[in-house]
């Protein structure tokens, strides 16, 4: 795809999301704020469906998994133990001309292809000596690059000192390791999953919901005996992660793996792999998988003065388990689900935009239309069907505009089935069901609708 076409696709997604009520720029009436976004009615449904699918695949179904829901405000010592207070920094540089702020490492990498992670002096030198241009004003007049911590600071009336909004959900899992062991007595290997908000004071938020400051993560800490071979566990998780993305409709060719080079790994990690997606703006990280050894439990043990160990019920041996961490960004996952679902088709000379979401994540499952809104008998019958089906499925009743327009709207929302109640329905007690993908229509008796949809949704 050409660069122009790619950007075009991103623009189309952003505009569809706003037009159809998936995602809005937040606080627009105040001129917007911090590149933040609100999930509108269909976006909130889509988000919930993706969370539900994730929870089902990673917490509910696997026998060795359990789920928790920890707080956003956690003891500040936790972030000392994890290294975030000291080292969770990005390199910031200001343009002295237009006062815009940028990630120094990103500017250097875009201009020279060099990855200077952490080397502030070298970044400053390149920006100044090679006269790298400001992407905003085009001039080259930079401050020195400096580190800023990416955690949001806040305070608590009951605590003296700085408190942080959690920059990742993982910490909330590690601090409950002992409680989980005491309450649940899980056998190794076992995993703890969690979905929730995380906050990062990103210098530049960009690419719609790809990089934002308030986002959600879906994370797992998978504990195992260090005597066990870790490679098969790692590979198994990688496969499970990919399977999840395929269930969201992503194509194989749009996913690739990036293994972090050994020399860039943290000292405790044996292997880290990013799952990358072919975004319209280039390949970008979607999800990660990291072997973290015993780093987290050992650190939290040290900083809390509490033993975080596992007692093997058979050998009676006590040890600190090792951990493998699969991590997912929920907002990035939503973005790729939107990109993968977007289709343009020519139908009888006209363009049709259709979001081909897999059934499990489609925000609205069934739309119900009376053929005409000014015929009470049709409206009553359609309402009856709506009330019947909405107990089980997310449904929408729509009597606005002609049927063609209503189909087009539901196609853009990605609704898999539309039911129309017409005059024949009153005579024969049946309706037309139109399939989103094939656009084929069939007549089904009203009293067979529940069974019909059970068959379609549970295939």
Please select the residue that binds ligand GAP; options are 43, 249, 288, 321, rule is CB under 6 A: 288
Q: How many CA atoms lie within 13 A of 442 on its CB side?
A: 11
Least distance to ligand GAP, CB of residue 178, Å: 20
Between 196 and 416, name the residue whose CB sits nearer to ligand GAP. 196
Q: Identify the bridge partners of residue 224 per DSSP, sorted by sequence position.
A: 322
Determine, following the binding rule CB under 6 A, whether residue 211 of this chain makes contact with ligand GAP. Answer: yes
Residue among 292, 62, 329 at smallest CA distance from 218 = 329
Q: Where are the alpha helices (DSSP H) in 32-184?
A: 41-55, 76-82, 84-87, 104-112, 120-129, 170-174, 177-184
- Is there a contact between 337 and 50 (Cβ–Cβ < 8 Å)? yes
Q: Scanning residues 244 to 263, which ones bind ligand GAP (CB under 6 A)?
A: none
Distance CA 112, CA 137 (A): 19
Least distance to ligand GAP, CB of residue 202, Å: 5
Q: Which residues have CB under 8 Å from 91's CB, separation 6+?
A: 103, 104, 105, 118, 120, 123, 145, 146, 147
β-pairing, 65-68 with 190-199?
A: parallel
Between 51 and 434, name the residue whose CB sits nearer to ligand GAP. 51
Please select the residue that binds ligand GAP; options are 43, 191, 196, 329, rule is CB under 6 A: 329
Between 102 and 215, name the residue whose CB sits nearer to ligand GAP. 215
**DSSP 3-state assignment of 89?**
strand
Q: What is the DSSP string of 123-165?
A: HHHHHHHTTPPPTTT----B---EEEE-SPEEEETTEEEEEEB
Determine, following the binding rule CB under 6 A, whether residue 219 of this chain makes contact with ligand GAP. Answer: yes
Determine, following the binding rule CB under 6 A, whether residue 212 of this chain makes contact with ligand GAP. Answer: yes
Please select the residue that binds ligand GAP; options are 47, 84, 166, 200, rule is CB under 6 A: 200
Q: What is the DSSP string of 312-339?
A: -TTT--EEPPEEEEEEEEHHHHHHHHHH
Please select the residue that binds ligand GAP; options are 45, 90, 331, 398, rule is CB under 6 A: 331
- The stretch among 19-27, 132-140, 223-231, 283-291 that binds ligand GAP (CB under 6 A) is 283-291
- Is there a contact between 250 and 277 (Cβ–Cβ < 8 Å)? yes
Distance CA 264, CA 271 (A): 10
Determine, following the binding rule CB under 6 A, whether residue 291 of this chain makes contact with ligand GAP. Answer: no
Q: Identify the bridge partners of residue 198 per DSSP, sorted by sequence position.
A: 215
Between 268 and 457, name the residue whose CB sits nearer to ligand GAP. 268
Q: Which residue is nearest to ligand GAP (CB)?
A: 329
Least distance to ligand GAP, CB of residue 129, Å: 30
Residue among 345, 342, 372 at smallest CA distance from 357 = 342
Please select the residue that binds ligand GAP; options are 124, 241, 299, 327, rule is CB under 6 A: 327
Please select the residue that binds ligand GAP; options are 45, 168, 411, 430, rule is CB under 6 A: 168
Determine, following the binding rule CB under 6 A, whether residue 217 of this chain makes contact with ligand GAP. Answer: yes
Determine, following the binding rule CB under 6 A, whether residue 276 of this chain makes contact with ligand GAP. Answer: no
Determine, following the binding rule CB under 6 A, whether residue 215 of this chain makes contact with ligand GAP. Answer: yes
Determine, following the binding rule CB under 6 A, whether residue 102 of this chain makes contact with ligand GAP. Answer: no
Over the window 169 to 188, marking each residue x when it contacts ligand GAP by CB under 6 A and - when it does not, the resulting string is -x------------------
Between 327 and 410, name the residue whose CB sits nearer to ligand GAP. 327
Phi, psi of 419 (to 5 degrees): -110, 130
Q: Scanning residues 341 to 380, which ones bind ligand GAP (CB under 6 A)?
A: none
Between 271 and 456, name the residue whose CB sits nearer to ligand GAP. 271
Written as six digits, the tokens of 395 are 């449904």
Please select the residue that binds ligand GAP; options are 51, 291, 332, 409, rule is CB under 6 A: 332
- Residues making contact with ligand GAP (CB under 6 A): 168, 170, 200, 202, 211-212, 215, 217, 219, 285-288, 325, 327, 329, 331-332
């Amino acid at each position: 795809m050409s660069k122009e076409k790619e950007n075009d696709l991103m623009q189309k997604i952003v505009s569809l999301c706003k037009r159809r009520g998936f995602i809005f720029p937040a606080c627009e009436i105040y001129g917007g704020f911090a590149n933040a976004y609100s999930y509108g009615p269909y976006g909130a449904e889509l988000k919930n469906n993706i969370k539900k699918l994730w929870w089902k695949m990673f917490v509910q179904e696997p026998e060795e998994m359990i789920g928790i829901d920890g707080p956003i405000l956690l003891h500040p010592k936790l972030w000392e133990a994890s290294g975030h207070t000291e080292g969770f920094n990005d390199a910031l540089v200001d343009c002295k001309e237009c006062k815009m702020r940028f990630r120094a490492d990103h500017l250097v990498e875009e201009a020279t292809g060099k990855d200077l992670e952490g080397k502030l002096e070298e970044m400053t030198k390149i920006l100044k000596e090679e006269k790298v241009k400001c992407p905003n004003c085009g001039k080259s007049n930079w401050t020195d690059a400096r580190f800023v911590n990416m955690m949001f600071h806040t305070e608590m009336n009951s605590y003296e000192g700085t408190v942080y909004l959690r920059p990742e959900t993982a910490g909330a899992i590690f601090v409950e390791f002992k409680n989980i062991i005491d309450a649940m007595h899980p056998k190794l290997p076992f995993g703890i999953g969690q979905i929730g908000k995380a906050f990062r004071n990103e210098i530049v938020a960009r690419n719609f919901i790809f990089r934002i400051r308030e986002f959600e993560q879906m994370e797992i800490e998978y504990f195992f005996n260090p005597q066990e071979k870790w490679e098969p566990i790692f590979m198994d998780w990688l496969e499970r992660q990919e399977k999840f993305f395929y269930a969201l409709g992503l194509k194989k060719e749009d996913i690739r793996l990036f293994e972090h080079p050994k020399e860039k790994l943290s000292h405790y990690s044996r292997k880290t792999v990013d799952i990358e997606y072919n975004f319209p703006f280039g390949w970008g990280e979607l999800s990660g998988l990291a072997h973290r050894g015993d780093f987290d439990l050992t650190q939290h043990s040290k900083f809390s003065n509490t033993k975080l160990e596992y007692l093997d019920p058979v050998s009676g041996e006590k040890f600190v388990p090792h951990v493998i961490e699969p991590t997912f960004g929920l907002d990035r996952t939503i973005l790729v689900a939107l990109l993968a679902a977007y289709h343009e088709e020519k139908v009888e000379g006209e363009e049709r935009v259709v979001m081909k979401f897999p059934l499990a994540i489609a925000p609205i499952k069934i739309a119900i239309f009376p053929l005409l809104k000014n015929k009470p008998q049709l409206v009553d019958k359609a309402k009856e069907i709506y009330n019947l089906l909405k107990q089980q499925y997310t449904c929408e009743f729509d009597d606005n505009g002609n049927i063609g327009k209503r189909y087009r709207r539901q196609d853009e929302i990605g609704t898999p089935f539309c039911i129309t109640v017409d005059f024949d329905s009153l005579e024969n007690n049946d309706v037309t069901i139109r399939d989103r993908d094939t656009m084929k229509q069939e007549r089904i008796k009203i009293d067979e609708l529940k069974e019909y949809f059970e068959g379609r949704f549970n295939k």
